[in-house]
Structure 1
């Protein structure tokens, strides 16, 4: 049950958006406010509504915290989600400015783009597979900042699952066959993490039906052309003084970005 009124949550919403614009995310949590995960999702949705109102465009959703270890760390019993924005979508090879982010941290993952609107009543695993246009290797950018008390789940949700952008690689057209791949996160030619024996589509799409159902609770429905980040296998890694960020997949291609 919430300890805060609608007016309180509106105040938090405006402050979180202001902080995000000023590249000073999450300052309200410096006061150690304690909001519920439900409050945090209301704030996330309210911020999204304000961004749309001022002209930004939602282009899909991210699934986060798919790892049970990450869920435990955040105090969750399920994954998290956030919105993706047209203004924060970049093509492979982009040069970005490090000071535009706060403790920029990266994840390696895969994304999909939908070839049709998803009908909730039909959303079986097979139906979802047939609704995919293509698969992409991705770099997900985060502002890795937490000012509140652990677990940080509500703070993460209120800040759009700390999402700050996507760098998208080349498309691989949908394959309904099982494909095994690795996935590597590389900073300045040094391998930071590797995940082996990931099998398409089972490992990549394990939480997509969950996302469909969660969004439906808010009368949001996944649409043709939506980009969906299917979830990283690890926790975001700060880039610190590194500049060249690469994600490689033996089956689905490579993507890179530079931070200066």
Structure 2
């Protein structure tokens, strides 16, 4: 099996130079999920060591349809560093990305640390604020062609993230599973969805992450942001393009380039 440190270095260079590469499992089919998460840890640690601290986490494959497409039964997760948070109201710099795609998400700001065995109720009680969010995905693999270990190693295609301007307590919102979202591209409706598209309830996605990290001896500190997973399929982001997501109660978040 290829060494995770070698994979991490190649992914780090691909991201730095904005150049897509072939998935590692093409040449190394024995590259497995455990090695992939170790690779992800090394990639993220390189960022942290360079002065880009962790601020949270992101989830992927949180919908049943996406899981079935990848032949898995669980989501996956990546980490979010400070430089990944894009300023709201400013265009996304496409020169810093390879092949950006955008999907709407519900983001959680945790006001308390959670341990293993977390439930939806405990996640909501620990949540300081809920935001409308946007995940600007950016795979380092050509044409988004990858296997599960490849995408995990690539920090789950983490690129940039945006938060909408409105923050609300969970108690100020209706049931998050019923919270609606209208996703538009240049003003035209592309998809509609509700929070239940993410594991039946977006807080269930956060609870899954907390519990999975606890199995690895890790936790999510208080003050962390968690992007709970895409409510819809992603769409490409191009120059001169505007993508918006309108959330019930949370307002609109826009990404443009």
1:133 is matched with which residue?
128
2:224 aligns with 226
Q: Supply the distance in 1 between the matched residues of 2:145 and 2:242 (Cα, whole angstroms).
A: 31
Aligned residues: 253
1:128-176 Cα distance to aligned partner (Å, 9 max, x none): 2110001000110011454499762111111110010101112112317
Gaps of 5+ in 1: none
Give the equivalent residue in structure 1 for 2:18: 23
1:153-164 equivalences in 2 (<5 Å): 153-164=148-159
TM-score where L is the length of structure 1: 0.87
Residues 14, 20 of structure 2: 8 Å contact kept: yes
- 1:114 is displaced (CA, Å) by 0.5
Q: Give 3-state SS (helix, strand or coil) of 1:211's partner.
A: helix
Residues 96 and 257, structure 1, Cα contact 8 Å, conserved in 2? yes
Displacement of 1:178 = 3.9
Aligned to 1:42: 38
The worse-fitting range, judged by mean Cα deviation, of 157-166 and 218-227 is 218-227
Distance 1:49 1:200, change over 3 A: closer
Q: Give the secondary-structure state (helix, strand or coil) at the position aligned to 2:179.
A: strand
Residues 84, 173 of structure 1: CA spacing in aligned structure 2 closer, same or farther, 3 A cutoff? Answer: same
Paired position in structure 2 for 1:236: 234
1:244: Cα distance to partner? 1.2
Name whichever of 129-138 and 180-189 sits farther off: 180-189
Provide Cα deviations, 1:14-53, integer angstroms capped at 9, x if missing partner: 1111111111244453954322122111100111112111
Give the structure 2 partner of residue 183 of structure 1.
181
Contact 1:12 1:28 in 2 (8 A): no
Answering whether residue 63 of structure 2 is matched by residue 67 of structure 1, we say: yes
Task: Judge conservation of contact 2:108–2:129 (CA < 8 Å) in 1.
Answer: yes
Distance 1:38 1:199, change over 3 A: closer
Cα drift, residue 11 of structure 1: 1.1
- How does the TM-score come out when normalised to structure 2? 0.88
2:204 aligns to what SS in structure 1?
Answer: coil
CA offsets per residue over residues 48-84 of structure 1, 9 Å max, x none? Answer: 1121111111100011101122112223220010001
| Alignment RMSD (CA, Å) | 2.6
SS in 1 for 2:66: helix
Q: Does the Cα contact within 8 Å between 2:25 and 2:150 map onto a contact in 1?
A: no
Looking at structure 2, the residues matched to 28 and 43 of structure 1 have their Cα atoms a distance apart, in angstroms, of: 13
* Conservation of the 8 A alpha-carbon contact between 1:106 and 1:140: yes
Which one of 231, 234, 256 corresponds to residue 254 of structure 2?
A: 256
| Structure (1/2) with the larger strand percentage | 1
Tell me, yes or no, if the aligned pair for 1:109 and 1:229 is still in contact at 8 Å: yes
Q: 1:149 to 1:36 in 2, by over 3 A?
A: farther
